Homo-oligomer: A and B are copies of this chain.
Amino acid sequence: MHQPSDSSNAHATPSPAVVLVSGGLDSATVLAIARRDGFEPHALSFDYGQRHRHELLAARRVCEANRVAQHIVLPLDLRSFGGSALTDTIDVPKDRSEIEMASAIPVTYVPARNTVFLSLALAWAEVLGAFDIYLGVNAVDYSGYPDCRPEFVEAFSSLAQLATRAGVEAEGKWTIHAPLIALSKSEIIRLGRQLDVDYGLTHSCYDPQDSGAACGRCDSCALRLQGFQEAGVVDPVRYQQAR
């Protein structure tokens, strides 16, 4: 890891880090962790044709509340490729049991999404002179996505070292931080509350109403609601039906 500035030294300039911010609760927590770790966060979000574009409004709110150094929302039309319920005309599955959610990679999987997002974070980080990238992947409540596993994150770190001028010229060592990877949703929420994350600013639903109210029934809502319940905390976002 690049040595971030110590909070005891108010005169040091914090090292930059790129943080992938979707607008969901995981990435809002990761943003707070990057700040706690002493980095100056530069936030990156993608307008990739996701049907739940409300998350981009949430990303903006979260970044403003955290006073990030910069927030880029990059247009990236993954609909050109199709193949996912999040970007195509496939229906978002709802009301699935825990067993159903764990049994197979769901149609909401966006092919190679985290590879694409990390590669663009890598491009920006190299321009910034950063060697640290944060993302909120999670291998516990991970919906079965292959690109949320520790072995994927490790493989990307190795790739980054080989792929970049910064890596080759040995100016530093790339670190892909996935601080939530071994935490359950309720552990993430408890950690976030310690770091004063305002989860009321976040958005998780795959299929929200036009008003932004969450459906409460898609896999993402189900995992979120279960996490808040297990953490013994009330979820501050709005749902279509009172819970």
A residues whose Cβ falls under 8 Å from a Cβ of B: 72, 74-78, 80-83, 105, 109-116, 118-120, 122-124, 126-127, 146-147, 149, 151-152, 155-156, 158-160, 162-165, 167-169
Contacts and interface: CB of A to CB of B under 8 A. Distances in A.
Contacts of A116: 116, 119-120, 122-123
Nearest to A74: B80
B146 A152 contact: no
Contact of A155 (B82, B110, B119, B159): B159
Main secondary structure of the interface of A (DSSP, over half): helix
Total copies of this chain within the assembly: 2
Contacts of A162: 146-147, 149, 151-152, 155
A152 B147 contact: no
Contacts of A83: 126-127
A-B CB proximity, top 4 nearest: A83-B127, A111-B126, A112-B123, A146-B168
Contact of A163 (B112, B123, B158): B112
B152 A126 contact: no
A72 B80 contact: yes
Contact of A77 (B75, B111, B156): B75
Given A127-B82, A146-B168, A119 B111 contact: no
Given A112-B119, A146-B165, A127 B158 contact: no
